[in-house]
Structure 1
């Protein structure tokens, strides 16, 4: 004879099993966070960053320019190359195409900009103090920020709308996006602060003008080798395509590098030791200003960030002129 359980007892048993399963999952997640934190904390710290100062009157030469979509893309995908350049005192300038606003409004995107500034000051080992000026692009107002105690470090904010991961754009910005501009679905795109409007041609020429004025021998951007909707953020892909198009008009000797984005998590970790520590410290300086990022061991975002911080892959490169001579 099959004994039937009382309904209340049967429900109680199911609840106990469910709670037990959640407990196991919670324990595993917490353990994962603790292990990740232990590994990162145990990385040798080495000497504190001390940037080689370049006098403010010295012209920048043989520098590196990064062109990325969002205010953390350079930190996640183009470092430790970027961090090493800053630490060495090389002239570096990073151009952020979008405000990275995620339809969250001005307070959020201004916070992301503040986070980026804090990260560069941290990499340079100087106080987070900056001066603001215009980048001097004909026909457009473009904000240029220069690090006061390390003037070889500068950033540019174009503040175009975040296009979301698929590149379809946000309702708050009338669905404007870099991808739709690249595809020809829209004729122009407006900066979220109303500072400028760009067509496909004028955005390209603006990037070319920024390159020509800074004269970098290294230009870093995102991955142009994969198509839209093939694993990376559409803003990343569109930024890479516009940068590569603009690079055709920059004739000084240089190397153009494409760095992998989201899909790189499937590759083996290749950032370790003091490089990983420096990369993590810069990202934490940024994250302190971005409320959407949680780096505590129990946060799901901690795992995502850890996967990206431990990797940097160059997926394509193109050279113009005699780069070796330009670097000498």
Structure 2
């Protein structure tokens, strides 16, 4: 790969061309930080299965994009549909099948970026740690797009050096090295063996050269999954809901990112991890249009059209060509850490603060005059996962909650603990320190300790505070702070829910907690009087396609929003009568533009309406105003700047409603919304 300076001309060339934006969206002004996106995948099709439709939108928004594929994906070496006579008769040629898969990936990227699957690529070689050569593909007519193939064998051949093993054993140290292959037609001149450290260092080197502001990885901590007749194993590994190579690739990528961040890199970098085969276990969160786009590019990769090829390896992976994604492994696009909706809000003085994790560290933006934010400040503390929940304190400070990730080769030594920090109103962070709240699964085995959910905190009368998280049993756990000390973790029951909690304090002192369940909306009514207890029930609705969001209305009733399965729509429904019972018959289909992650919503008293914001199929911002009856006021408005994580909706110090997000370039985006808004201006961005 050329040195970083040689990438400047492709960047400038991209800046001169018009970006392709969602229908009806306005062109944003140049962002404060130009987005550079990087994805680290295990196999040649993982990004097409698990990142799209966000990937195709990001390719048109990023000024540079780099996808890194760790393995050669050689499989059984036969490029023919499994279970067919053709497959049985096909010769085994691992190097040719690996080449066919990369050919298919290049065709898919060319189609996503240029609409021409046969567009030309330039092949190069770059040298990484220990002298390893990697195969680099540059899209000639869009040179901001590059693919890097490390070509590690998935299953090293019998003649591999002693101590060799697959990527999974390389991570744990059970293997001392994993060899590479040279796929058919590759410009790489020879093979190499990666050690665990040299593979991590090679990824760090790519991050140093490329300097991504948005890093996409695979899921390092997939959910545990029961496999039985009702839940076939498919391609899952062990007791998990994903393929082990996806998991190990996620761990390598996160370890490399942590090293890069520790040496001072990635100060504007947002990290997002994507679920793998887990998505087939839950309702699809994609619209029919988004699934069709995902199907199209997957079919290009799979050489479904069987168009003539002069390449002896062929133009794609015929094992998947033409397969319908339907309810399978590509049916959804789901973030492992979907993001908080409570990362921004007014402090005790009425001025807005916003918090995000960039480079594994929390950054803080603060409103210095109505609607205007000062540049970000860094909060001490590292190795945090991309989620922060913020609660204002009565004295003008903030209490933050996040999860710290500690990675080791030994699976029993992984750390995923909930941490909290108290930020003083003075803004002097020199002596502040994070405090560990431990893990609700601390007494369980290592696998369960890794499956901690992201925190949701709720302020209670008398200065008390309740923090909640999904536990390894996919139920709810909580700790209560009485103003001085924390109670022990308490298992509050429930189970079979997706990641992403929403909670609201009720007039009687209890807290209502909601999550997406298998057969509807999981609901806990948590009593905070004395020892924490909870009543668990399920609101019988169609299973939602993602985390719900609850909003309290002035009369004490509540409104819930969630994504409708197999649809682009957001739906609302309300409580009935005294507010104790949810009424599924009040459901209103609000339409929308699809997308992953949680829904942000807030009641705006001056306007007697709820303002709703979501990350849509284009990884952009969609906004809707909703009346107290749950019905839309006007249509969805879209703003095209690509975002990372989730939105927040709040009110600035002048009382004006505002939508907030973090851009793919790492800046804070703000969008004021007025009652007469029929279109939206570009979001302001603050570094």
Q: For the superposition of Structure 1 and Structure 2, which TM-score range results when normalised by the shorter chain? A: 0.7 to 0.9
Cα deviation for residue 283 of structure 1 reads 0.8
Q: For 2:126, which of 114, 119, 135 is the aligned residue? A: 135
Q: For 1:223, which of 219, 232, 243 is the aligned residue? A: 219
In structure 2, what is the equivalent of residue 235 of structure 1?
Answer: 245
In structure 1, what is the equivalent of residue 113 of structure 2?
Answer: 124
1:213–1:231: structure 2 CA closer, same or farther, 3 Å change rule?
A: same
User: Relative contact order (C-alpha < 8 Å, sep 6+): which is higher?
Assistant: 1
1:126–1:137: structure 2 CA closer, same or farther, 3 Å change rule?
A: farther
| Kept in 2: contact 1:126–1:150 (CA 8 A) | no
- Kindly indicate whether residue 57 of structure 2 is the aligned counterpart of residue 74 of structure 1: no
Cα deviation for residue 173 of structure 1 reads 5.8
Spell out the pairing of 1:49-198 with structure 2 (5 A cutoff). Answer: 56=10, 58=12, 61-88=34-61, 90-104=63-77, 105-127=94-116, 128-138=119-129, 139-163=131-155, 176-193=165-182, 194-198=190-194
Spell out, residue by residue over 1:156-206, the C-alpha distance to the aligned partner (whole angstroms, 9 max, x if none): 00000124xxxxx66576872110101111101110224322101000000
In structure 2, what is the equivalent of residue 202 of structure 1?
Answer: 198
- Is there any run of 5+ residues in structure 1 with no aligned partner, and where? 1-53, 164-168, 296-301
CA RMSD of aligned residues (A): 2.6
The 3-state SS of whatever aligns with 2:150 is: strand
In structure 2, what is the equivalent of residue 309 of structure 1?
Answer: 330
Q: For 2:358, which of 302, 313, 319 is the aligned residue? A: 319
In structure 2, what is the equivalent of residue 299 of structure 1?
Answer: none
Count the aligned residue pairs. Answer: 264
Spell out the pairing of 1:16-27 with structure 2 (5 A cutoff). Answer: none
- Tell me the TM-score normalized by structure 2: 0.36
Q: Which has the larger radius of gyration?
A: 2
In structure 1, what is the equivalent of residue 299 of structure 2?
Answer: 284
| Kept in 1: contact 2:68–2:147 (CA 8 A) | yes
1:182–1:310: structure 2 CA closer, same or farther, 3 Å change rule?
A: same
Cα deviation for residue 137 of structure 1 reads 2.5
- Supply the distance in 2 between the matched residues of 1:59 and 1:213 (Cα, whole angstroms): 19
In structure 2, what is the equivalent of residue 10 of structure 1?
Answer: none
| Kept in 1: contact 2:278–2:329 (CA 8 A) | no
- Supply the distance in 2 between the matched residues of 1:99 and 1:305 (Cα, whole angstroms): 27
| Kept in 1: contact 2:35–2:61 (CA 8 A) | no
The 3-state SS of whatever aligns with 2:74 is: coil
Larger helix proportion of the pair:
1
- Which segment is superposed worse, 98-107 or 221-230? 221-230
- Supply the distance in 2 between the matched residues of 1:306 and 1:284 (Cα, whole angstroms): 16
1:172–1:112: structure 2 CA closer, same or farther, 3 Å change rule?
A: farther
- Kindly indicate whether residue 273 of structure 2 is the aligned counterpart of residue 258 of structure 1: yes
The 3-state SS of whatever aligns with 2:67 is: strand
The 3-state SS of whatever aligns with 2:37 is: strand
